Chain A
Amino acid sequence: MWFLSARWRPLVSQLVLREIKSRYKQSILGYAWVILNPFFQMLVMTFVFSLVIRVSSLGVPYAIFLYVALLPWNLFANSLTHSTNSLVSNAQLIKKIYFPRELFVIATIAAKVVDFTLASSILVLFMLYFRVHVNLNLLWVFPIFGIQLLFTYGLALVLAALNLLYRDIQYLLNLVILLWMYLTPVLYPMEMVPDQYRFIFRLNPMAVLINAYREVIINGGVPKLSSLLIAFGTSILTVLFGTWFFKKLERIFADVV
């Protein structure tokens, strides 16, 4: 949260804590659900895509092949759905007190990053168990992750603001995210996509990022830099547009909520 001015840091950390502490309060397994959820998702998908439909998985167990993509994808999808609701669910606060409204979005995404980090522990265990070799190229995950966060934040700003005006956005988003996942190589490798359709994936920053994660974690290679650079550029533009759009609508939030 280095980019936040010191003034807002205590507030954002309290909002993140609220999100994390409150979520699984009245449940026995509590926060363990953050790990269990993607784990069971992975088990079922592995059954379907490696035993029923045989999808090639770059020479590693399908479970690992999938997890490397599924975890960042879940982070992306969860961040978007929760951010979209973040302004609406804080309507009472928005009407009462002023602080930059994007703090709600930032706090929501930060809480999802915490979830993601915990869920990733299973992936690390899997990789140790199956002895997947990694090398220094693994460090590429940090810039890739950074680009993903930028892209997510930019989109989340637009969606959160729009959802305050029209609640259709949150329902539409569920559908879009489902379709988007199939148009991103999460369940299957990029290599299975026929050449004439590859362009769809080049236009999709999430596809570029997911491929990059696989390349650096599973293959130990260097991600395709030109694609990554385009994804980075797209993400910066998304953040700029999102901020402009959000700030433009921010003045009427309290009136329409």
Chain B
Amino acid sequence: MSSKPIITFTQVGKLFYRQEQRTMKELLPALFRGKKGGAWFWALKNLTFSIQPGESVGIIGKNGAGKSTLLKLIAGVTSPTEGKVFVQGKISPLIELGAGFHPELTGRENIYLNAAILGMNRHEIDAFLPAIIDFAELSEFIDSPVKHYSSGMYLRLAFAVAIHVKAEILLIDEILAVGDEAFQLKCLKKLTQLKQQGVTIIFVSHNMQSVLDFCERVIYLQEGRVVIDSTSHAAITHYTKDVTRS
């Protein structure tokens, strides 16, 4: 591929402080005993890679491997301690259940809220509203408060909004695990469609089958470092071997 990369990480490291005492009651005795308040650790270290427009890249690794931190860096909500992160293009993160929603508001009101958070203006939302409701299969419940929704309905709404945002980069963090199989299939189909339209998709998941089905490239992280960055088949084989060994 000769086009300019849409995401570039150069020697990226992210240092986190793990604070153990958060209140005075905990802090004072710890100071007397000469204990330090916490410990620094590298959530990510020495990450260098680039992603071309239109690529679908899976991010795999155990809990705490740095997958979410990686997404945060791409989304621009946190900045790297060292190195450079370069991202070009509009990002649409699939917002976690509840995060971009207000339980007391109706499904319709929440679509407006969530879509505005993802950077759509009122006209765009008005135009996409029927498609969003249709995709979420929620036309019956769209005017009731989302606090009465099941977690599957929540997910459908969130997913439907996120994919209708005209974004160049889609960040998907394990969210598909919640929906039923039929909806998961529908989502994967839609994602494949977006992929064909040239949307770059970063896919974080523990479900190796869907990563294998969906991504041609996979980055496998372990304790904040890249173990392997390769075709999905090679990376997943490597990962499965590591998991079964331990």
**A→B interface (CB under 8 Å):** 7, 10-11, 13-15, 17-18, 21-22, 25-26, 92-99, 251-255
By a CB distance below 8 angstroms, the chain A residues around B105 are 18, 21-22, 25
Question: Does B99 interact with chain A (Cβ within 8 Å)?
Answer: yes
Across the interface, do B16 and A18 meet the contact criterion of CB distance under 8 Å? Answer: no
List 16 additional A-B contacts (Cβ < 8 Å) besides A22-B105, A92-B95, A253-B77.
A10-B120, A10-B121, A10-B122, A14-B113, A18-B102, A18-B105, A18-B113, A21-B109, A22-B104, A93-B99, A93-B117, A96-B95, A96-B96, A97-B93, A98-B75, A254-B72
What's the nearest-Cβ distance from chain A to residue B224, in Å? 15
Contact of B117 among A11, A25, A252, A255 (CB under 8 A): A11
Please, how many residues of chain B have a CB less than 8 angstroms from a CB on the other chain? Answer: 28
Q: A11-B116, A21-B109, A22-B105 are in contact. Are A255 and B96 (CB under 8 A)?
A: no
- How far apart sit A15 and B119, CA to CA, in the bound complex (Å)? 13
By a CB distance below 8 angstroms, the chain B residues around A14 are 112-113, 116-117
- How far apart sit A21 and B109, CA to CA, in the bound complex (Å)? 9
- How far apart sit A253 and B79, CA to CA, in the bound complex (Å)? 10
By a CB distance below 8 angstroms, the chain B residues around A15 are 113, 116
By a CB distance below 8 angstroms, the chain A residues around B109 are 17-18, 21
Interface of A is mostly: helix
- Among B99, B116, B120, the one with the most A-chain Cβ atoms within 10 Å of its Cβ is B116
By a CB distance below 8 angstroms, the chain B residues around A25 are 104-105, 145
- How far apart sit A186 and B21, CA to CA, in the bound complex (Å)? 41
Q: A18-B102, A255-B16 are in contact. Are A96 and B145 (CB under 8 A)?
A: no
What's the nearest-Cβ distance from chain B to residue A102, in Å? 15
Q: A10-B121, A18-B105 are in contact. Are A94 and B113 (CB under 8 A)?
A: no
Contact of B77 among A13, A17, A254 (CB under 8 A): A254
Question: Does B130 interact with chain A (Cβ within 8 Å)?
Answer: no
By a CB distance below 8 angstroms, the chain B residues around A92 are 95-96, 98-100
By a CB distance below 8 angstroms, the chain A residues around B78 are 251-252, 254-255
18 residue pairs bridging A and B, Cβ less than 8 Å apart: A10-B120, A10-B122, A14-B112, A14-B116, A15-B113, A17-B109, A18-B109, A25-B105, A26-B104, A92-B99, A95-B72, A95-B77, A96-B96, A96-B100, A97-B117, A98-B75, A254-B77, A254-B78
By a CB distance below 8 angstroms, the chain B residues around A253 are 77
Kindly supply a per-residue 1/0 record for chain B positions 113-137, scoring 1 wherever the CB is within 8 Å of any chain A CB and 0 otherwise: 1001111111000000000000000
